Amino acid sequence: MRIVIAGGHGQIALRLERLLAARGDEAAGIIRKPEQADELRQLGAEPVVLDLESASVEEVAERLEGADAAVFAAGAGPGSGAGRKETVDKAAAVLFADAAVRAGVRRFVVVSSMGADPAHEGDEIFDVYLRAKGEADAYVRGQDALDWTILRPGQLTNDAGTGLVRLEAHTGRGPIPRDDVAAVLAELVDTPATAGLTLELISGPAPVSVAVKSVAGN
């Protein structure tokens, strides 16, 4: 499979690219800075330099041509202001979805956030973030031309992955290593029967493949 990942230099994306390359898939990571390209190549991924905050839908669709799946894993990051929550967490996700539709890429997986809600209230940066993610998720859900799955991890950690997770429509809050988020994404990309689901993810009792199979088709 060829899988194109937006936010290709993000912490989860780098882990996902390594996993995909190791299993023989073709991973392409969209990155903003050319100097990030070597790190992707070392993982076995193809770097695609494109700024999703300024690119047109045609430019993004061109990069998605021929892909079997698209993963939106971009984020403005914890140090960014409210403006970039709108331009990256919301607008770039909408752009990527539109580009996938244009390029005919049906399988579309979004890394969202637990608590994302277009109706979330408040003016703090994190409130703006949860609202932006919620609006992006709602937009993706409205695209009939996409076989979408939305993944909402709990509190992200850099602990070593255990390969054991809880993946359900509602899990309640809890931590999850980024390693395990990447492993779940790799499995979801391969499991189109999870299309149409919004799933929460925290550490838990089930091996990743078992957890994904158990929600597939629900």
Q: How many CB atoms lie within 10 A of CB 44?
A: 16
The reported pLDDT for the residue numbered 17 is 98
Q: Which residues are catalytic?
A: 129
In which domain, by residue range, is 199 found?
Answer: 2-216
Q: What angle do CA 108, 114, 115 make, to 5 degrees?
A: 115
| Count: domains in the chain | 1
* Tens-binned pLDDT, residue by residue, of the chain (218 aa): 999 999 999 999 999 999 999 999 999 999 999 999 999 999 999 999 999 999 999 999 999 999 999 999 998 777 788 888 988 999 999 999 999 999 999 999 999 999 999 999 998 999 999 999 999 999 999 999 999 999 999 999 999 999 999 999 999 999 999 999 999 999 999 999 999 999 999 999 999 999 999 999 77
Q: In this predicted structure, what is the pLDDT of residue 13?
A: 98
CATH code where residue 133 lies: 3.40.50.720
> What is the DSSP annotation of the chain?
-EEEEESTTSHHHHHHHHHHHHTT-EEEEEES-GGGHHHHHHHTPEEEE--TTT--HHHHHHHHTT-SEEEE-----TT--HHHIIIIIIIIHHHHHHHHHHHT--EEEEE--TT--TT----SHHHHHHHHHHHHHHHHHT-TT-EEEEEEE-EEE-SPP-SEEEEES---S-EEEHHHHHHHHHHHHT-GGGTTEEEEEEE-SEEHHHHHHHHTT-
- Buried/exposed code over 85-116 (b: 16+ C-beta within 10 A; e: otherwise): bbbbbbbbbbbbbbbbbbbebbbbbbbbbbbb
**Under a CB-based contact definition with an 8 Å cutoff, are residues 10 and 73 in contact?**
yes
- The pLDDT, as a whole number, for residue 83 is 86
